[in-house]
Structure 1
């Protein structure tokens, strides 16, 4: 009988990236690559490179290095080791018919290294899962562009498919709800805040389908016209998690963090998390449960920004208790969700 031509299916899991160490030189290298990506900072290259490599990154790197030093553990960067843990567990559940690789859009392990692992194994086809629940051109879109740039240089290019968004994936939502219920069983909360990574408003408007997006009530439903609108996806994820937790619309707020507006003088998605939390204690909201549903792994933006900096701001304003719900990391329900997404694709 003729030998089978069927090979393993390759799976590429990708997250954003992390410095190789919390030292300033490595942080600078990471920020240089990240902040000169044309999909992250959509300025002409003649402006982007001098502004960020010559001014913003040198100023920001030492400050960011100090924050990364707070975040670093014995295993290194949480974003990296949680990604490697996820890779291992997904591989175990998928079995020998699949080969799972893990890469970072910026720095190491690189997307190119991960793709070369799949190429060397002669996989039949590749499924790419950027680990960003809500599609944005600056995150998922950047990963897709990088993958296509790399494989365009291969002489033989296997079939490649992308999982572009899992905003409302049942397993993704179920994991967040499960983690939230654990925290809600420990304490009584007056309000819930869903804090998403911000992007410039222009990024949303540039991707609007036939001018559908108005940065307003258009996000009250999730449909074919806004299925790739980052803002609409954030509201959809929040609605589904809130429903799973039994919350009414007045019991939660959707907000956005991590803006660069102070330097770029450009409006980002609003409301801003650091601004909405300050007046809450005066309104009688003393206990807040915070989620970061744009991140599937603990990182600087969750552990430090939401978990520590926002907690400090809230308490300074008179709040009593601010609690961050952990990210999905390698939670068993999340691992199963990833496996199910791959099987469906």
Structure 2
């Protein structure tokens, strides 16, 4: 903790279990899914569904998956890269700044990180959610939690939030450059796979109050960026990366993974897209996952293992995964700019 720091930066990532045991995964999933911005149904129904059905079934399965990606020395990949990002950003910003890392769910908690910053009597606190695309269930939940905790502070520094940077030029260039490590022309098709959301959550951020996304979203999402629509911002990110790689619209597909439950989620689903591409004779896929700035269970297992095996069972030959931003110095430069601007 720098005694001379006057400006605070709080980086917030989604979260990860403390260990890949069923007990710790159960705690993580329960906290995550009981968030009313994530599971946006009434409390009683949410409690019965989460604690009575989803978590008891998923916790042991997820724990087994976490064990496959857990490193003996560094632990959770998400935590490892998040801590690197914090440390590298601190070095870049210098002693005028104090950088903290928090997880929205589990540890280190937002409450513990803010407690440290409160004791420093900082002049300002800048909160950067590590989700490039805004969604109420992610960035909205982080902002909500920070405001809830800081409500009890006896003094208030200048507080600001970075809610979206979905088409940041430098960030998209890093994603594109990571893609250039592959011989892109040898791949039959490119996927931009994002974490999914229930369709009903898209309608809730429509300023008119109308649900305009009965299936997968408005067609306008493909051609413009809505300041609060997650789907629109996913398309904006994809277009920006595709433009840097000079990909025509026919060369790539935007799709959505990690569906939970039977309610309609944003489409097309990544799994359905794999089936459709396999039926067309596509053999080699290159996958970007620009909703994640650090490699995690969704990139290391869901895409590289689950979807890769599914595609091969359909007759495909290869699913190659483009690495996340991780500790790339250019990504740290983006974070520095977001922290200062």
Post-superposition shift, 1:282?
3.1
2:178 equivalent to 1:176: no
Partner of 1:239: 239
Name the CA distance, whole Å, in 1 between partners of 2:284 and 2:291.
22
Partner of 2:249: 249
Q: Helix, strand or coil for the counterpart of 2:247?
A: coil
Q: How does 1:314-329 map to 2 (within 5 A)?
A: 314-329=311-326
For each residue in 1:128-156, what CA deviation from the matched residue of structure 2 results, as whole angstroms up to 9, or x when unmatched?
Answer: 00000100000000000000010001111
Q: Distance in 2 between matches of 1:272 and 1:253?
A: 11
1:256 partner SS: strand
Structure-1 residue corresponding to 2:110 = 111
Whether the 8 Å CA contact 2:5–2:98 is kept in 1: the answer is no
In the alignment, is the contact (CA less than 8 A) between 1:279 and 1:317 conserved in 2? no
Shift of 1:283: 1.4
> How far apart, in 1, do the equivalents of 2:259 and 2:324 lie?
20
Task: Map 1:149-298 onto structure 2 (within 5 A).
Answer: 149-184=148-183, 188-210=186-208, 211=210, 213-214=212-213, 215-223=217-225, 226-261=226-261, 265-298=262-295
Output the CA distance in 1 between the equivalents of 2:189 and 2:29.
35
8 Å CA contact 2:312–2:318 kept in 1: the answer is: yes
Structure 2 Cα separation of the partners of residues 36 and 123 of structure 1: 32
Distance 2:122 2:181 in 1: 40
> Counterpart of 2:264 in 1: which secondary structure?
coil
RMSD of equivalent CA atoms:
1.4
When normalised by structure 2's length, the TM-score is 0.95
Whether 2:306 is the aligned partner of 1:309: answer yes
Residue 220 of structure 1 deviates from its aligned partner by 2.3
- In structure 2, the CA distance between the partners of 1:212 and 1:199, relative to structure 1 (3 Å rule), is closer
Deviation at 1:209, TM superposition (A): 2.4
TM (norm. structure 1) is 0.94
Distance 1:233 1:212 in 2: 17
Are the counterparts in 1 of residues 235 and 254 from structure 2 also a CA contact under 8 Å? yes
Deviation at 1:242, TM superposition (A): 0.4
Check conservation: 1:32, 1:52, Cα contact below 8 A: yes
1:178-224 deviation line (CA, Å, top 9, x unaligned)? 10111236x7111100000000000001111224844131212224x
Unaligned runs of 5+ in 2: none
- Residues 196 and 259, structure 2, Cα contact 8 Å, conserved in 1: yes
Secondary structure at the counterpart of residue 182 of structure 2: helix
Taking the TM superposition and a 5 Å limit, the aligned residue runs for 1:17-36 are 17-36=15-34
SS of aligned partner of 1:279: helix
Q: In the aligned structure 1, how far is the partner of 2:212 from the partner of 2:245?
A: 29
Report the count of equivalent residues: 333
